[in-house]
């Protein structure tokens, strides 16, 4: 029995337990939109297309579930570009489906500035800010849906984009059974781990720098157990700052240009730096890369080998989960001498001190510190740009199971993510 391709798309979403779609209806995506509504999939209409992509990203951040952003042709796809760049920068998986002009116009009018009424070559526009972008024809629809799903979630997560012409959506095909999709876990090599074990054995002042990749790998509890077993001080990146309760005995803030002074001193004093799930970008390293943890051997664990930096001594391609599991077997437990030194550094350089007065105007550091007293577990916090980001990250005190949004591309998008996702 044949089936309409827009219904095939919906069948795929049901098969992969994707039950939420964010978007705006337009003439070019109306078939898919109609099939979603009729099937019982939750469709959330957003303020604009950028908000649709960001809301889908916010939905993944808060629920851990993949969502779809459904946009239309012309201004619909161009309005989406800031949204997809934000998802790309933060490695957030979202399947973006755009409606397009009829396939014959797309194929035969590529020499023109636009084809049909408002057709644009959106695939080429977003090819550098997606993991996968493809114009889909009817005979490839099932394969491309499965490809997009796997690519979005495999290794470094990120957005994928399928551009589906209007007339392709309405065609009818014989649907086959959906394939089961398996994901490979990239593990560190035995050689890499031997090097790490030796470095740990010789280290006196080790530090672990944890990043957003730990959250994406969904191995926060494993990470906590590992650091507690080893008794190693931990710094967290600005996008991974909510991994640990800030009252945890091993947490010592965030290094870098948005971090605390004490954290940067600890960062520079360590003799072994193990970064897990951080791209080690400028916010963490500063602009002088020759000064990054200059007294330390640096191990960088990342699933994406293109992110390895020239100052890294031991780059290791692996998932955060697989590396932490192998790190967990280390028998060494570090004594409290280095831990106590880190505590003393933090005491010497407090975040809020007597210099932060608010006799005339409220001091931002003191304000965030006071707000922290009223924060509760399971709350979501969103920071804007500028002072809100800087003082927010430096003086906020987070508790277990709290989430703070720190979108890398544009902080103005954070509120839209949360507002629309809920």
Domain layout of the chain by residue ranges: 2-174, 190-349, 356-422
Q: Is the pLDDT of residue 136 over 80?
A: yes
The arithmetic mean of pLDDT across residues 373-386, rounded, is: 85
CA dihedral 127, 133, 138, 141 (to 10 degrees): 170
The arithmetic mean of pLDDT across residues 350-362, rounded, is: 69
Predicted confidence (pLDDT) per residue in 297-309, tens digit = 999 999 998 889 9
Q: Two tokens at 18?
A: 């994707």
Q: Two tokens at 171?
A: 């065609």
2-174 and 190-349, same CATH topology: yes
357 pLDDT band, cuts 50/70/90, is low
Q: Exposed, middle or buried, 39 (CB in 10 Å: 0-12/13-18/19+)?
A: middle
Q: Is the pLDDT of residue 420 over 70?
A: no
Q: Are 297 and 273 in contact (CB under 8 A)?
A: yes
How far is 14 from 378, CA to CA, in rounded Å?
29
Q: Which of the four CATH numbers 3.40.50.1220, 3.20.20.140, 3.40.50.970, 3.10.105.10 does domain 190-349 have?
A: 3.40.50.1220
Chain mean pLDDT for the chain: 89
CA distances from 397 to 40, 245, 247, 298, 376 (A): 41, 8, 8, 28, 11
Q: What is the pLDDT of residue 114?
A: 62
Fold of the domain spanning 2-174? Rossmann fold (3.40.50)
Phi, psi of 22 (to 5 degrees): -110, 140
CA dihedral 241, 246, 399, 54 (to 10 degrees): -10
Q: What is the pTM of this model?
A: 0.87
Strands 95-100 and 132-135 turn out to be unpaired
Predicted confidence (pLDDT) per residue in 268-278, tens digit = 999 999 999 99
List all residues 6 or more positions away from 152 whose beta carbon is below 8 Å from its beta carbon: 66, 93, 94, 95, 131, 132, 158, 159, 160
Q: Which residues of 68-106 are buried (b: 16+ CB within 10 A; e: fewer)?
A: bbbbbbbebbbbbbbbbbbbbbbbbbbbbbbbbbbbebb
Q: Are 365 and 394 in contact (CB under 8 A)?
A: yes
Q: Are 265 and 242 in contact (CB under 8 A)?
A: no
Reduced to 3 states (helix: H, G, I; strand: E, B; else coil), residue 161 is strand
Distance of CA 229 to the CA centre of its chain: 27
* Percentage, residues of the chain above pLDDT 70: 91
Higher-scoring residue by pLDDT: 189, 286: 189
How far is 325 from 332, CA to CA, in rounded Å?
15
Q: Is the pLDDT of residue 341 over 90?
A: yes
Q: Two tokens at 144?
A: 């491309």
The arithmetic mean of pLDDT across residues 122-139, rounded, is: 94
281 pLDDT band, cuts 50/70/90, is confident
Q: Residue 56: name the closest of 160, 132, 154, 150 by CA.
A: 160
Q: Is the pLDDT of residue 386 over 90?
A: no
């Amino acid at each position: 029995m044949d089936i309409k391709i827009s219904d095939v798309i919906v069948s795929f979403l049901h098969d992969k337990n994707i039950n939420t779609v964010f978007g705006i209806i337009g003439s070019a995506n109306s078939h898919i939109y109609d099939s979603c509504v009729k099937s019982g999939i939750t469709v959330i209409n957003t303020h604009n297309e950028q908000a649709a992509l960001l809301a889908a990203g916010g939905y993944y951040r808060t629920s851990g579930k993949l969502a779809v952003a459904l946009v239309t042709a012309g201004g619909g796809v161009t309005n989406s570009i800031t949204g997809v760049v934000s998802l790309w920068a933060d490695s957030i998986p979202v399947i973006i489906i755009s409606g397009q002009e009829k396939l014959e116009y797309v194929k035969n009018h590529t020499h023109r500035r636009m084809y049909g009424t408002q057709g644009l070559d959106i695939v080429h526009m977003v090819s550098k800010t997606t993991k996968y972008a493809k114009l889909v024809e009817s005979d490839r629809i099932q394969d491309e849906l499965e490809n997009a799903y796997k690519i979005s979630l495999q290794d470094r997560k990120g957005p994928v984009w399928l551009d589906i012409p209007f007339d392709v959506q309405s065609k009818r095909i014989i649907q086959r059974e959906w394939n089961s999709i398996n994901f490979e876990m990239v593990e560190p090599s035995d050689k890499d781990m031997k090097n790490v074990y030796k470095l740990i054995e010789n280290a006196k002042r080790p530090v672990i720098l944890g990043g957003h990749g730990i959250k994406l790998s969904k191995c926060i509890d494993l990470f906590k157990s590992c650091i507690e077993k080893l008794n190693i001080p931990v710094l967290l990146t600005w996008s991974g700052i909510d991994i640990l309760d800030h009252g945890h005995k091993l947490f010592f803030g965030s290094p870098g240009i948005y971090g605390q002074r004490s954290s940067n001193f600890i960062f520079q004093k360590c003799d072994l730096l193990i970064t897990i799930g951080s791209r080690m970008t400028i916010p963490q390293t500063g602009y002088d890369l020759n000064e990054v943890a200059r007294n330390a051997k640096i191990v960088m664990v990342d699933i994406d080998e293109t992110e390895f930096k020239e100052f890294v001594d031991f780059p290791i391609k692996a998932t955060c989960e697989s590396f932490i599991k192998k790190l967990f077997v280390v028998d060494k437990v570090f004594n409290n001498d280095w831990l106590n030194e880190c505590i003393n550094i933090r005491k010497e350089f407090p975040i809020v001190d007597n210099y932060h007065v608010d006799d005339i105007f409220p001091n931002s550091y003191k304000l965030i510190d006071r707000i922290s007293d009223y924060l509760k577990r399971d709350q979501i916090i969103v920071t804007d740009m500028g002072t809100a980001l800087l003082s927010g990250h430096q003086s906020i005190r987070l508790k277990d199971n709290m989430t703070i949004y720190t979108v890398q591309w544009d902080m103005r998008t954070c509120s839209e993510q949360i507002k629309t996702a809920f």
